[in-house]
Amino acid sequence: MSNRYSRQQLFNHIGMKGQEKISQKHVLIVGAGALGSASSEAFVRAGIGKLTLIDRDYVEWSNLQRQQLYNEQDARLKMPKAIAAKEHLHKINSEVEIEALVMDASATNLEDLLHSVDVIIDATDNFDIRFILNDLSHKHNIPWVYGSCVGSYGATHTILPGKTPCLHCLLKYVPVGGATCDTVGIISPAVQIVAAYQVAEAFKILVEDFSSLRNTFLTFDVWSNQHYSIKLDKIETADCPSCGTIRTYPYLSYENQTKTEVLCGRNTVQIRPNRRSQPNFDQLQKQLQNHGTVEQNPYLLSCQLQDYRMVVFRDGRVFIHGTNDIQAAKNLYYRLLG
């Protein structure tokens, strides 16, 4: 075990001192899908001190093509991604402290987790959460690394509070398309490239080699062999509500208003109850078994209906698969769960 990180330590930008720093640092990854599973494995293999992994979803068969940590058994059991990831990561490196949280990331619960975090990795699939990460990053002075991919396209950017333009500033100049993995698909090389850039940038932050950080917004299309690097040094604005002179952090209050949402590209509506409570799965199974086929594991309960599939999580959240109609999903929720 003494030479576990020897090849990494031979890299002169890390060395023994850098490895010691990595072993004392804490990385927060929001999302345990394609980008999250790839980056979490890289950090665990590199000997990160602590990894906190957050995800609201569970493993499905369509994930296995690109989400490298998971296997058929995880999909068969509908294992929450955070839990399955932790189990697989511990088998890779038992020395790393891993905190796995099955929950919907929000302004409130993310802020409670930021103590001792050294860098945040964006592995999400929607801009609401990214704007929350952006506001929290600047409020608590924690670097974060943006990443996204769809089809054969990917993009990444490193944001240092007080030193680089933030996401609010960035999106005034860099267009963001509406394509999702469910509408145009995705290939695994795009995932691996984005994750590699994110992890490399995070390593530079963890070993405190800030002068080596890339100061551009990087995009690529691995299929059409396109690669662009956009300079952003002049886009920061003094009136930005997230990083400007007078900061209001608008997304830290906005998110708390969202109780029902359509999941990005999923034909699924998520409903979060106003009051958090832990449902009784045995009671729910009896309640739902006359409406469809019910399965449960320690983390969630699934009911396959004629046209929809309802999944109830331990924190009270509910997925209604098979619709993007929020009102139809709410009607089904109240009819079956009251």
Pair type for strands 26-30 and 153-159: unpaired
Range among 27-41, 101-115, 157-171, 261-275 with highest mean pLDDT value:
27-41
Residue 186 near residue 151, CB atoms below 8 Å:
yes
Range among 164-173, 201-210, 239-248, 265-274 with highest mean pLDDT value:
201-210
Q: Looking at per-residue confidence, does 154 or 182 come out higher?
A: 154
Instruction: Give me the phi and psi of 240, to 5 degrees please.
Output: -65, 130
Residue given tokens 């969630």 in the structure block: 300
Polymer length of the chain: 338
CATH code for the part of the protein at 5-231? 3.40.50.720
Range among 125-134, 169-178, 211-220 with highest mean pLDDT value:
211-220
Give the residue among 26, 20, 249 at the shortest CA–CA distance from 118.
26
pLDDT at position 1: 47
Distance of CA 15 to the CA centre of its chain: 29
Helices (H), ranges, the chain: 6-10, 15-22, 34-46, 72-76, 81-92, 107-111, 127-140, 167-170, 181-184, 188-206, 251-254, 281-288, 326-337
Residue 146 near residue 123, CB atoms below 8 Å:
no
Band of pLDDT at residue 238, cut at 50, 70 and 90: confident
pLDDT at position 143: 98
Q: In what order do the strands lie in the sheet with 97-102?
A: 97-102, 50-55, 26-30, 119-122, 144-150, 153-159, 216-221, 226-231
Reading the block at residue 313, the tokens are 């999580």
Has residue 256 got a pLDDT over 60? no
Q: Residue ranges per domain, the chain?
A: 5-231, 258-337
Q: What pTM, to 2 d.p., does this model score?
A: 0.90
pLDDT tens for each residue of 285-315: 999 999 999 999 999 999 999 999 999 999 8
pLDDT at position 128: 84
Please spell the DSSP secondary structure of 274-328, one letter per residue: SS-----HHHHHHHHTTTSEEEE-SSEEEEE-SS-EEEEETTS-EEEET---HHH
Q: Please state, as a whole number, how many other Cβ atoms lie within 10 Å of the Cβ of residue 327.
A: 10
Has residue 173 got a pLDDT over 70? no
Has residue 257 got a pLDDT over 80? no
Topology alike, domains 5-231 and 258-337:
no
Q: Please state, as a whole number, how many other Cβ atoms lie within 10 Å of the Cβ of residue 122.
A: 26
Q: Mean pLDDT for the chain?
A: 91
AA identity, residue 187? I
pLDDT at position 180: 60
Dist. CA 74–CA 84, nearest whole Å: 7
User: 114 burial class (0-12, 13-18, 19+ CB within 10 angstroms)?
Assistant: middle
Q: Please state, as a whole number, how many other Cβ atoms lie within 10 Å of the Cβ of residue 157.
A: 26
What's the mean pLDDT in 162-182? 72
Superfamily of domain 258-337: TATA-Binding Protein (3.30.310.10)
What percentage of residues in the chain have a pLDDT greater than 70? 93
Has residue 319 got a pLDDT over 70? yes
Collapse the DSSP code of 209 into the 3-class scheme (helix H, G, I; strand E, B; otherwise coil) and give the result: coil
Has residue 241 got a pLDDT over 50? yes
CA distances from 150 to 134, 144, 178, 224, 258 (A): 21, 20, 10, 14, 25
Has residue 191 got a pLDDT over 70? yes
